[in-house]
Chain A
């Protein structure tokens, strides 16, 4: 017996497979990606009796071994590749007692691969409720395996499952269905051509477009020469195979399972009558959305303010307690605020995933997908795109992470690409200060112009997302099967453990994934703003002190002038001057230029950057606002922030892709720099053109 047993958890979606995984591994789990693709790889360690350890891998949910998505491909690739280090010694097929018939299809396929397979029948606590009785010994005999009847909800049967895993060598590896009967001649030929290969494995290789490990592919490369059937014929054979498997399953369950429909009670029908109703369904969904919106905006503002304060005072403390010097400044002004910029997103991300995971666990999410599909389809999106688009109003980062459950790659990619248009919370401070500066205070039918402008900006963002989705749908030529089959699972009370683990895992993956990049960018920005070439930067103290010697400035005011002068001649200041010709037609000066350049790291630095440039020490908005209002346009005269330049700036921020963290996440989710690069240039280019037109028309 090996020291460590490799176990693969396989099962249909909605069978509680992840609950079984959580029950077996607890916190001893990690989530990564399969090499080269963005499918999540969940693995963990489980302690078995007698000191044996099991390495457990939670494979993506699938209905069969006929893959129709990247996630499902992973399952087949692993099960067909004996050389893979994760190749299972034993497979555990997790099934739901209420859908045993459908779940057994996958089971019979895995049995045909002659891998020792345990059948774990989950949710056994619902058997009485549903009037289901099982003859376990008979089923074990017919299915040629051992069965563990478990309930993760009631924490039953897990020890029995562990015991079965430990003794996996006792399991039969005989198949239960003879698939080759669907076309005996064809399978005979196949057997003769490849005498050393497992027949069912060959059949899977022929019918799928699976990428195998290199060694394995060479072994059966000759399979390409064995194409005696057309695609249509192969599909017909697959249909025949499915029907044959169901015949076996029906016969088996006829003997081993009795369902007393009279004692079955169904909450589903009552709930669905309301939750998927043409009117009530949408209304309830709208109320749920408002609640989530409220939570992300409101409830998370308290911890976010707290984090902000803690990091600000920590930075202050570092500055005062460590010896003065460049290193201290790097820590206090670069690294600590950079870390703060990561940590500050945690409350929003945690809240968002808390809600999403509760909605998914309860089974409600499938109903939303059902309700929204028709509407979203018109724009090349899927019913499943609605979740990311709504989440995007908080922050595009978790929203893009939430696109993972969209099966069609094209629909998912479009969703990822358009989500950053929705007005995220980082745009809000920019909008607020500019609106206060340039939009008059009057009212229109009882609503203030300023509030209307803000609302309009949200609508513009959402409109841009929908319109570009429609456009991308026309342009992108991606072959991806866009069939739509959504299981509508039974309603369930979410398990606390599952929800908590999801929230922890998603938050962790954000902090360590995107966090690294945010941190790196903030350090670079700090360097660019803190260093500059030449006399003007290095001798700023002397220059300013001499210049203002005649005016009696206080020490604070003098420091601010020096800081401002330094910034102007720092690398980032030079960059601001360099781009001034490009942004002048938009109505901006070099100072706004700097704010825009640094905003490409994250939009929320706009106000802070302007605060430093206008030599205002505090972040108090009123003060910055007054300073900004007093700025004069160097070329045209008059206030720099007038209606034309203000609108231009608002539109620029509405459309431009100014968020390094989002780009990093898009890179991670699409596994290519191509898409984030396109996003950066197309969105920002579009923003530039719109802002240019706005200023030139309005000035």
Chain B
């Protein structure tokens, strides 16, 4: 199922498919947010923002406004 990273629910896993949007900070790519890498939602703050993610073994938090630009494929819906 194709989706953006903002749609991922807790316990779901996905594969990043596209990060070419200009709104994604380079820093995020450098931390391993690249196509082909796995992503998992660890925890969300109230109002689902920011999101605490595990991307390819790196744990980080990003705001929803960034997550909507990252395209993913959810592998276990």
Contact = CB atoms under 8 A, between A and B. Distances in A.
Interface stretch (A364-372, A567-575, A597-605): A364-372
A68 B61 CA distance: 17
Contact of B59 (A268, A377, A483, A484): A268
A66 B21 CA distance: 18
Given A373-B63, A485-B60, A485-B66, 14 more contacts: A98-B57, A101-B57, A102-B30, A239-B29, A243-B29, A246-B34, A273-B43, A369-B61, A370-B52, A481-B25, A483-B25, A483-B63, A485-B25, A485-B61
Contact of B30 (A66, A232, A277, A371): A66
Given A68-B26, A239-B19, A276 B59 contact: no
A487 interface: yes
A672 interface: no
Contacts of B61: 366, 369-370, 373, 484-486, 488
Contact of B31 (A98, A102, A383): A102
B45 interface: yes
Contacts of A328: none
A591 to B, nearest CB: 51
A375 to B, nearest CB: 8
Contacts, number: 107
B18 to A, nearest CB: 11
A369 B31 CA distance: 18
Contacts of A487: 31, 58-60
B3 to A, nearest CB: 21
Contacts of B43: 272-273, 276-277, 370
Contact of A276 (B31, B47, B49, B52): B52
A486 B35 CA distance: 20
8 contacts: A64-B26, A68-B25, A102-B58, A239-B20, A268-B59, A272-B42, A278-B46, A487-B31
B45 to A, nearest CB: 6
Interface string B25-43: 1111111101100000011
A102 B63 contact: no
A370 B60 CA distance: 9
B59 A488 contact: yes
Nearest to B47: A374
Contacts of A276: 43, 45, 52
A577 to B, nearest CB: 56
A63 interface: yes
A243 B59 contact: no
B48 to A, nearest CB: 9
Given A242-B34, A369-B61, A485 B27 contact: yes
What 5 pairs across the A-B complex have the smallest Cβ distances? A488-B59, A483-B25, A64-B30, A486-B61, A276-B43
A488 B52 contact: yes
Contacts of A82: none
Nearest to B56: A101
Max chain B C-beta neighbours (<10 A), residue from A276, A366, A371, A485: A485
A276 B70 CA distance: 24
B1 interface: no
B63 A484 contact: yes
B62 A239 contact: no
B77 interface: no
A546 B59 CA distance: 81
A64 B26 CA distance: 9
Contacts of A246: 32, 34
A484 B50 contact: yes
A268 B43 CA distance: 12
Given A276-B52, A485-B31, A235 B26 contact: yes
B38 to A, nearest CB: 13
A383 B61 CA distance: 11
A401 B42 CA distance: 32
A99 interface: yes
A494 interface: no
Interface bracket on B: 20 to 34
Interface of A: 63-64, 66, 68, 98-99, 101-102, 105, 232, 235-236, 238-239, 242-243, 246, 268-269, 272-273, 276-278, 366, 369-371, 373-374, 377, 383, 481, 483-490
A520 B13 CA distance: 61
A685 B57 CA distance: 52
Contacts of A66: 26-27, 30
Contacts of A102: 30-32, 58
Nearest to A245: B30
A128 B25 CA distance: 34
B62 A485 contact: yes
A251 B6 CA distance: 30
Contacts of B30: 63-64, 66, 102, 105, 242
Contacts of B62: 484-486
B27 A235 contact: no
Contacts of A63: 27, 30-31
A64 to B, nearest CB: 4
Q: Which has the most chain B C-beta neighbours within 10 Å: A68, A277, A486?
A: A486
Given A276-B43, A370-B45, A483-B66, A489 B25 contact: no
B34 A243 contact: yes
B51 to A, nearest CB: 9
Contacts of A268: 59
A232 B47 CA distance: 32
Contacts of B34: 242-243, 246
Contacts of A488: 42, 52, 59-61
B58 A99 contact: yes
B21 to A, nearest CB: 10
B22 A235 contact: yes
A383 B52 CA distance: 14
Contacts of A239: 19-20, 26, 29
B37 to A, nearest CB: 9
Contacts of A366: 61
Contacts of A377: 63
A150 B25 CA distance: 32
Nearest to A231: B22
A210 to B, nearest CB: 15
A242 B46 contact: no
Contacts of B50: 370, 373-374, 383, 484, 486
Nearest to B66: A483
Contacts of B45: 276, 278, 370-371, 373-374
A188 B29 CA distance: 26
A477 B50 CA distance: 25
Contact of B49 (A99, A105, A374, A489): A374
Contacts of A489: 59
B24 to A, nearest CB: 9
